[in-house]
Amino acid sequence: MLRHGNTFDRGDIVRRVGGRTDLPLSPSGREQLFGLTRALKARNAQFTTIFSSPLKRTLETAEYVRDAICPMATIDRVEALKEIDYGPDENCSEEMVITRIGRAAIDRWDQEAIPPEGWRVDTRALIIGWRKIFKDASNLPGDVLIVTSNGVARFALNAADRVEAGLGRKLRTAAFGVAEVTSDGHTSILEWNVRS
């Protein structure tokens, strides 16, 4: 499971970008993908299929990884991987978001995946979506890469049957996690938020 690269560069006003704001990768985001693919190659990663959110930033990331590592892999757009809707905070600066909801609400989101008031997050649907994605992946030959965004990614941990101790929730840009899914769909999250 992989989060897309940066959508903002140094000097930009970083905004909370959800599913309604379809940004491409920034120049630094494209640079991140070089290091990411180097890290995946070092692990001898090969993917037969890539599941990607339909957003520009995730598709661009999926295509880059495919072209660099596994040019024969197919890319399937999966609507369930589309980023959440940040409601009134969509496309607002982090400073504005914190002013509206408070630092404690952001901390609860980052640590426990509890959405702040006003965000449009159907946690039950996200968990069901992840379980279906895991099941679909278990029915395919070879390894599957899943490319999504941070808000959605954290619910993979809720959907898994087992999560290694000490893993946080947030997935940094161009960072990945590793899951093992058995043929019966039993899912274990082994690593999270890895960049190298």
- For the chain, the average pLDDT equals 96
Query: Each residue of 9-38: pLDDT tens digit?
Result: 999 999 999 999 999 999 999 999 999 999
Task: Give yes or no for a contact between 170 and 142, defined as CB atoms under 8 angstroms apart.
Answer: no
| pLDDT value at 2 more than 80 | yes
How does residue 142 score in pLDDT terms, banded at 50, 70 and 90?
very high
- Is 188 in a helix, a strand, or coil? strand
Angle, in degrees to the nearest 10, between helices 27-42 and 56-69: 40
E strand intervals along the chain:
2-3, 49-52, 74-77, 144-148, 162-163, 176-181, 187-194
Name the β-bridge partners of 75. 50
Query: Each residue of 76-86: pLDDT tens digit?
Result: 999 999 999 99
How does residue 166 score in pLDDT terms, banded at 50, 70 and 90?
confident
Between CA 97 and CA 89 the distance in angstroms is: 6
- Give me the pLDDT at residue 168, please: 87
